[in-house]
Structure 1
Amino acid sequence: MTQKNKKIPSGFIYFFGSFGGILFGYDIGVMTGALPFLEHDWNLTNASIIGWITSAVMFGAIFGGALAGQLSDKFGRRKMILISAIIFAAGSILSMISPHNGQYYLIIVRILLGLAVGAASALVPAYMSEMAPTNMRGRLSGLNQTMICSGMLLSYIMDYILKGLPEGWAWRLMLGLAAVPAIILYFGVLKLPESPRFLIKHNHFDEARQVLSYIRNSQEEIEEEIQDIKSASEQEEQADQKATWGTLFSSKYRYLVIAGVGVAAFQQFQGANAIFYYIPLIVEKATGKAASSALLWPIVQGVILVTGSLLFMWIADKFNRKTLLTLGGSVMALSFLLPAIIHLLMPKANPFMIIVFLCIYVAFYSVTWAPLTWVLVGEIFPLAIRGRASGLASSFNWIGSWAVGLLFPIMTASMPQDAVFAIFGIVCVLGALFVHFFVPETRGRSLEEIEKSGIKKD
């Protein structure tokens, strides 16, 4: 590698190591603004087709994360991030040049794009955790979340800037511009080193020492970490050989697997992505104004998301995980349920109130369930089942994201909008109860202590 004899600043490594989150966030958010123009340009009225076009990325991501995890163990984190950047750029350009009324073409291309989105969601946190010093892992986990939120905000801003173009050009440029951060990521990652964990696992000890010299303070610290990685890798290999899918649901681990996978699934089924994907259409239905003129609202949501992710970095280790998740879930539930209750009691109440309550929902989601789900999933699974259990949690999370993106337009086409959000509110209540009764506290506890809490008698 060209960087072998050249010092790479640690800030550069952490910035471009987490930059994949920008792409991830941009592609999640961009359809929010593009969809109203695409609907008018192609005269889309079929709710199922609208749902599939929007959710196709999440459908592809279900498989992208699992594939990238396995391939990165064989070829390396860095190489797989580079391949993901190429797929991102290609998928964005192919989306931009969709043939007129090519609904099925666009769905297939966005599924391909989803493979890269899923890969980024798995690869970026793995790469960052393997590069970061132990005392910075929490903050750098927060940096990844901030990058994702920033990518969403960037897509909302681009949608707003481009809304004045003819509708056929507007949505195409919105989707196509995702290629720009993908190209930036590709050239940035070209200069990044491979993760020391991957290098040691494949017996490249000198290269691992070189990489660690960029991001650690002393030779003693470097040698100590190399020994720790060697020991952990051997333990993981032994654990992986012994573990099967059946191991996940043995009496020893069942409780922890249900807790981790359940939190990952609830994060999506609580309806956050319905807001992120469809806020202009939600505003249109609530106020009667055209969705294409409501593109300031996604920017408001994006600013709240980024602010919330920064606030989380400050409070992450000050409060118990369960406290934050229960509080967040309760306020999120009220934000969905109160508009329906108010509408029942006062049918002539200003429909704009639903938008205010959705902003409250996003604020609490961004500080609690959005980042804490992945902190908890990273802490709760014992070494013996960590790989399989984390993959299962990620898959359920993407299945929830895909289902919400697909079903929301179908649900709003067949029932009042406040009733749809009331259903999500009930799911939020169930999520808070699930955390209270089924999820152990992980803050400040060792992995061994957490594992003991999972041992249940048959």
Structure 2
Amino acid sequence: MNVMAKAEKKISSAFIYFFGSFGGILFGYDIGVMTGALPFLQADWHLENAASLVGWITSAVMFGAIFGGALAGQLSDKFGRRKMILMSAIVFMVFSVLSGVSPDMGEASAYYLIIVRMLLGLAVGAASALVPAYMSEMAPAKARGRLSGLNQTMIVSGMLLSYVVDFLLKDLPGEWAWRLMLGLAAVPALILFLGVLRLPESPRFLLRKGDEAQARKVLSYIRKNPAEIDQELASIKETAKEERQANQKTSWSTLFSGKYRYLVIAGVGVAAFQQFQGANAIFYYIPLIIQKATGQAASSNLMWPIVQGVILVVGSLVYMWIADKFNRRTLLMVGGAVMGLSFILPAVINWMMPNMNPMTIVVFLCIYVAFYSFTWAPLTWVLVGEIFPLAIRGRASGLASSFNWIGSWLVGLIFPIMTASMPQEAVFAIFGIICILGVLFVKTCVPETRGHTLEEIEEQGTNHGRVKASNPEN
């Protein structure tokens, strides 16, 4: 027993935080890998004129993720965060390999890949829910902001990794290129599985199961002194008691009562706008966007996703630097305004100058990605984590996540259909208008959360509800 304890004691906090957030790499890799695989897949399966099938193949992962996040959240409360992360890694490995070995059976092969990627999406959605939960329960309160930024950096690093892999494999025969791109997603899943085997369970879950001794041992790996451990154990117990009481008193209808409606609309609205603003149209389809703009083959434009990936990683680091220096609303409104203009201006310029250099749209897309990377991308989840009162936090966070995944799925699905029926400058202009609507939504419907306690934020919602009740015409 002593030998085992000594072996466990060697687990460093850096190891725990690295592999605790490594699920973000998987999440990001599968968001990005189809960007490079799709041009080769289209050519191999002759899908150039099958916009709806292309949309479904691309967006199937997000469709599965809608259910994977909700399912993983419930199962992790029963079996633990660690076990569910391990299970997600296994599912990810299996269905990544099955994607890469898709049989060539004509149109039926497309439906096979759609189903396999939906099942893969269960693991992607689970990772998106489990990783932040595990990290927030392991991290000390003073480091949660930075570690939230670490999760975002892991996600965009996974996207960049997938773009680099796509670029390195682009000169293989077309059939082998896309199969290896998709199948190699099993490698980071295997690394995650092996790393998480050594990770401890979260102390919060252990306490919920009545294992205080093990919870104390886990906290000893990542906290400096016994007094800090005792204080955190007492805090976890008190929070768990409050959550049990809150869950007994609330239902889904509670979310839309006068007291909470304002905050629920704000949090869920921001989560939905993040996706409906069209970011994933760029991340999934940038080679095809450049092909349509310039006439160059999409398979020869795989350097551009790497450019986008580098911008995303740098932006995530910029966010970690400025996160606590500016108000959430200010960053969201400035970012949304620049993002909207980046989508609208190419359409205006093209209307005024029909001979516009086709690469102009790519420059504006890079500006969009830059501002998205340090505003809406990370801040959506920071705000969602702060804005919901304890009594409704579980249900409201789940609702926000569902709307976010629904938006991601719909954008991935309809973008190729829209660009097949109208100029892509017009399509981006539509997304630009949605960005501007998002700015107006933040200005009118979202409270400031930086520097406010959860109690103060809840009071804003309560006061807003009272104002609405006394002025129903407003």
Which band: TM-score by shorter chain? over 0.9
Between the two proteins, the alignment pairs up a number of residues equal to 458
Alignment of 1:210-221 (within 5 A): 210-221=217-228
| Cross-structure match for 1:120 | 127
Identity %: 76
What do residues 114-137 of structure 1 show as CA deviations (whole Å, max 9, x unaligned)? 000000000000000000011110
Tell me how far 1:138 sits from its aligned partner: 0.4
2:15 alignment partner, one of 2, 12, 25? 12
Alignment of 1:301 onto 2:308: yes
| Cross-structure match for 1:26 | 29
| Cross-structure match for 2:100 | 96
Question: Are the equivalent residues in 2 in contact too, given 1:4–1:210 (CA < 8 A)?
Answer: no
Task: Give distance in 2, aligned partners of 1:302 and 1:357.
Answer: 15
Alignment of 1:428 onto 2:432: no
Alignment of 1:56-455 (within 5 A): 56-100=60-104, 101=106, 102-455=109-462
| Structure 1 stretches of 4+ moved >6 Å | none
Q: Bigger shift: 1-10 or 338-347? A: 1-10
Task: Give distance in 1, aligned partners of 2:178 and 2:232.
Answer: 49
Task: Give distance in 1, aligned partners of 2:129 and 2:247.
Answer: 19
Instruction: Give the TM-score normalised by structure 2.
Output: 0.96
Tell me how far 1:212 sits from its aligned partner: 0.2
Tell me how far 1:405 sits from its aligned partner: 0.0
What is the CA RMSD across the aligned residues, in angstroms? 0.9
Structure 1: 5+ residue runs without aligned partners? none
What do residues 368-391 of structure 1 show as CA deviations (whole Å, max 9, x unaligned)? 000000000000000000000000
Question: Are the equivalent residues in 2 in contact too, given 1:20–1:185 (CA < 8 A)?
Answer: yes
What do residues 306-354 of structure 1 show as CA deviations (whole Å, max 9, x unaligned)? 0000010000000000000000000000000000000010001111100
Alignment of 1:52 onto 2:56: yes
Q: Which amino acid aligns with 1:388?
A: R
What do residues 185-226 of structure 1 show as CA deviations (whole Å, max 9, x unaligned)? 000000000000000111100000100000001011101100
Tell me how far 1:3 sits from its aligned partner: 5.9
Structure 2: 5+ residue runs without aligned partners? 470-474
Task: Give distance in 2, aligned partners of 1:114 and 1:189.
Answer: 20
Task: Give distance in 1, aligned partners of 2:425 and 2:143.
Answer: 42
Q: Which amino acid aligns with 1:251?
A: G
Question: Are the equivalent residues in 2 in contact too, given 1:28–1:152 (CA < 8 A)?
Answer: yes
Task: Give distance in 1, aligned partners of 2:206 and 2:354.
Answer: 64
Task: Give distance in 1, aligned partners of 2:32 and 2:250.
Answer: 38
Task: Give distance in 1, aligned partners of 2:247 and 2:377.
Answer: 29
Task: Give distance in 2, aligned partners of 1:224 and 1:416.
Answer: 60
Q: Which amino acid aligns with 1:12?
A: F
Q: Which amino acid aligns with 1:418?
A: E
Tell me how far 1:241 sits from its aligned partner: 1.1
What do residues 15-57 of structure 1 show as CA deviations (whole Å, max 9, x unaligned)? 0000000000000000000000000000012110000000000
Q: Which amino acid aligns with 2:73?
A: G
Pair 87,3 (structure 1): closer, same or farther in 2 beyond 3 Å: farther
Question: Are the equivalent residues in 2 in contact too, given 1:92–1:179 (CA < 8 A)?
Answer: yes
Task: Give distance in 1, aligned partners of 2:130 and 2:174.
Answer: 35
Q: Which amino acid aligns with 2:142?
A: N
Task: Give distance in 1, aligned partners of 2:289 and 2:245.
Answer: 51
What do residues 219-275 of structure 1 show as CA deviations (whole Å, max 9, x unaligned)? 111011001000100100110111100000000000000000000000000000000
Q: Which amino acid aligns with 1:68?
A: A
**What is the DSSP-based 3-state SS (H/G/I as helix, E as strand, rest coil) of the residue aligned with 1:191?**
coil
Task: Give distance in 1, aligned partners of 2:371 and 2:457.
Answer: 27
Question: Are the equivalent residues in 2 in contact too, given 1:3–1:191 (CA < 8 A)?
Answer: no
Tell me how far 1:4 sits from its aligned partner: 4.1
Task: Give distance in 2, aligned partners of 1:350 and 1:181.
Answer: 39
Question: Are the equivalent residues in 2 in contact too, given 1:3–1:193 (CA < 8 A)?
Answer: no
Task: Give distance in 2, aligned partners of 1:28 and 1:349.
Answer: 31
Task: Give distance in 2, aligned partners of 1:429 and 1:364.
Answer: 14
Task: Give distance in 2, aligned partners of 1:213 and 1:160.
Answer: 44
Q: Which amino acid aligns with 1:98?
A: S
**What is the DSSP-based 3-state SS (H/G/I as helix, E as strand, rest coil) of the residue aligned with 1:40?**
helix
**What is the DSSP-based 3-state SS (H/G/I as helix, E as strand, rest coil) of the residue aligned with 1:443?**
coil
Task: Give distance in 2, aligned partners of 1:306 and 1:128.
Answer: 20
Q: Which amino acid aligns with 2:175?
A: G
Q: Which amino acid aligns with 1:23?
A: L
**What is the DSSP-based 3-state SS (H/G/I as helix, E as strand, rest coil) of the residue aligned with 1:313?**
helix
Instruction: Give the TM-score normalised by structure 1.
Output: 0.99
